[in-house]
Amino acid sequence: MSDPTRAQRASSFGSRAAEYAEHRPDYPREAIEWGLSGASGTPRQVLDLGAGTGKLTLGLAELGLDVTAVEPDPEMRAELERLVPSATSLAGQAERIPLPGTCVDAVFAGQAFHWFDVPAAMTEIARVLRPGGVLVPMWNYEDESVPWVAEFGKLGRTGVSRAWTDGNQEPATHAAFDPFESQAFHHVQRRTAESLVETIATHSHMIVADPASAAAGLAEIRQFLAANPHTASGEFELPLRTWVFRARRR
C-alpha cells in the first residue's frame, strides 16, 4: 500500500470512530453463517481482522463464537470494546497478527480486506488459521439494482473496495488457500436522509478531503435525498447487498 493517499485513507477512520459505530450497517446473519460454512468442522475460535468499531465482531459474538478482534486504530478499538465487551480486543494489523500459529478456525474481515497488503496478509492469515479453516472477506454495498440507489451511488461511491465485485479484478490467490467462492445476500438498513449523509461522511474519501470539498459533496447528497421521493421524508429502508467471499486453508 505504497500510495500515500491510499495509506492516509486507510488510517483515517479513527477521527470519525463514534459516527462510524453509529451509522455504518451491520452484516446479515445468513451471510456470516455462509462464510463460516466454508470451514471443515464446526468453527469456534474466530478472528475479526481489521475489526473497526465491531460491526462484524458483534454479529460473530451473537452466534456464540469465541471472537478475537484485531484493529490498529485505538479510537476505533475503543468503540469496539464498548459495543462488544465479550470479544477479546487486540492492537495489531493484518500483516502482523498478534496471535500464535494455527489458533483460529476462521478469519473474517468486514469492510477491511481492500486496505490490507493482500499477499502479506494472506501469508499471515494462513499462519494463524488451522488447516481446514476459512478466510472470509465481506463487504456491504448499496444495492444499485434499485434505480434510485444507483443514481445515489454516483454521488457517494468510490472504487477502493469494489475490485472483486465489479469485475475489475479477480479474487486474490495464495498457495495456502483454495480458490475463493462468493455469494451475495440482500440486506437493508433503516435510514433517514440525515443519517445516510452521516454514513457517507464516514467514508475515507470524505474524511481526508479538504473541508470545503467534503462539505460541497455532502450538500449535493443532501439535495438529492431531499428531492428523491423514496428518501425525502422520515425513515426509509436503504437496500444493500452483502458480498461474502470464502477460501479454505489447505
What is the 3-state secondary structure of 183-236? EEEEEEEEECHHHHHHHHHCCHHHHHCCHHHHHHHHHHHHHHHHHCCCCCCCCE
* Residue 159 Cα distances to 64, 169, 203, angstroms: 34, 12, 12
Q: How high is the pLDDT of residue 2?
A: 42
Question: Cα 178 to chain center, whole Å?
Answer: 22
Is pLDDT above 80 for 167?
Answer: no
Q: How high is the pLDDT of residue 15?
A: 58
Q: How high is the pLDDT of residue 28?
A: 98
Q: How high is the pLDDT of residue 10?
A: 47
Mean pLDDT, rounded, for 105-110: 98
CA-wise closest residue to 21 among 205, 198, 152, 160:
198
Q: How high is the pLDDT of residue 133?
A: 98
Q: How high is the pLDDT of residue 159?
A: 53
**Do the Cβ atoms of 73 and 17 come closer than 8 Å?**
yes
CA pair distance 68, 111, nearest whole angstrom: 17
Identify any residues that bridge with 104 across adjacent strands, giving them in sequence order: 129
pLDDT tier, 211 (very low <50, low <70, confident <90, very high otherwise): confident
CA pair distance 94, 113, nearest whole angstrom: 9
Q: How high is the pLDDT of residue 186?
A: 97
Mean pLDDT, rounded, for 212-228: 92
Q: What is the pLDDT of residues 16-56, one digit of tens each?
A: 778 888 989 999 999 999 999 999 999 999 999 999 999 99
> For the domain that residue 17 is a member of, what is the CATH number?
3.40.50.150
Is pLDDT above 90 for 224?
Answer: yes
Is pLDDT above 70 for 222?
Answer: yes
Mean pLDDT, rounded, for 215-222: 91
pLDDT tier, 116 (very low <50, low <70, confident <90, very high otherwise): very high
Give the number of other CB atoms < 10 A from CB of residue 42: 8
Give the number of other CB atoms < 10 A from CB of residue 66: 16
Q: How high is the pLDDT of residue 246?
A: 98
One-letter amino acid at 203 equals: H
Q: How high is the pLDDT of residue 150?
A: 93
As for how many domains the chain has, the answer is: 1
Q: What range defines the domain where residue 12 resides?
A: 4-248
Is pLDDT above 50 for 9?
Answer: no
CA pair distance 225, 206, nearest whole angstrom: 18
Category of 41 on φ-ψ map: left (φ > 0), alpha (ψ -120 to 50) or beta = left
Q: Which grid coordinates are listed for 134? A: 476459512
Q: How high is the pLDDT of residue 195?
A: 94
CA pair distance 7, 1, nearest whole angstrom: 6
Q: What is the pLDDT of residues 68-97, one digit of tens each?
A: 999 999 999 999 999 999 999 999 999 999
